[in-house]
Structures are given as C-alpha cells and as structure tokens.
Amino acid sequence: MGVLFPVLFNAYIGAQQTPKVLVDAGLVFGYSKNRLFLKVVLPASLPYLMAGFRIGVTLGMILVVVAEFFGSANGLGQKIAVTAQLFQTPQMYAWVVYTSLIALVVVWVTDWIERRVLRWS
C-alpha cells in the first residue's frame, strides 16, 4: 500500500506534463481517447512512471523488511531483529549485508527494465 502512492503520483504528474502540442496533434489525426492515451500520453509519461517505479521498488524493499521486524515469524527483517536481540552481532550484520545485496540486485533489475523501456533516453 505504501508503494502505490509514489507510483500513482508520478503517473499523474507525467500525464499532466504531456506537451499540449502532442495531444493536439493526436486529436488532429483523429485519435480516440484510448488511442490518444496509448500512443501519446503513455509514451510521454514513461520517464515519470519509471521514476515512480524506481521509488516504489526501493520503498517496497524497506517497507517489507521493517514490516518483518514487527509482524513476522520468518523473513529477513525477523532474522535481523532476533539476532540483534540475542546480541549475535556478527550474524545480525551478515543478515543486514544479505538483505542489502538482495535490495541491490532488485535495484539493478529495475535499472535494466528502465533501460529497456526508455531506450530513447
């Protein structure tokens, strides 16, 4: 739920930032509202959507780990919390590094998706 709002907000701003001249050109060519959205507004707002997606992925990773701190019997956040409570500092840092590596891989995948979707930029 926490990831939804940054993505939706960026999508809304991206759609608003579509140049009016492009929308007018689509209307001159007789595009329907659906086709205008798919062919003009969506491509123009893709950079904003991808920025929201990047923020959402990062925020999602943080929220999942924090939620596991408090409300999970298993999971990376719970492993970190339990090892910290038991003063098992090396194991705790191992779980933190492991979680960070997973987050890094997720961010790299997001970068790869962004490069594929936004080839022109």
The pLDDT tens digits of the residues spanning 87-116 come to 999 999 999 999 999 999 999 999 999 999
What are the pLDDT tens digits along the chain (121 aa)?
889 999 999 999 999 999 999 999 999 999 999 999 999 999 999 999 999 999 999 999 999 999 998 888 889 999 999 999 999 999 999 999 999 999 999 999 999 999 999 987 6
In this structure, which amino acid lies at residue 20?
K
Q: What is the pTM of this model?
A: 0.80
Query: Which residues, including other chains, have CB under 8 Å from residue 21's CB and lie 6 or more apart?
Result: none
Burial class (CB in 10 A: 0-12, 13-18, 19+), 50: buried
Q: Which residues of 13-44 are buried (b: 16+ CB within 10 A; e: fewer)?
A: ebeeebeeeebeebeeeebeeeebbeebbeeb
Q: In the chain, what are the domain boundaries?
A: 4-117
pLDDT for position 79 = 93
pLDDT for position 121 = 64
CA pair distance 76, 39, nearest whole angstrom: 42
pLDDT for position 72 = 83
Architecture of domain 4-117: Orthogonal Bundle (1.10)
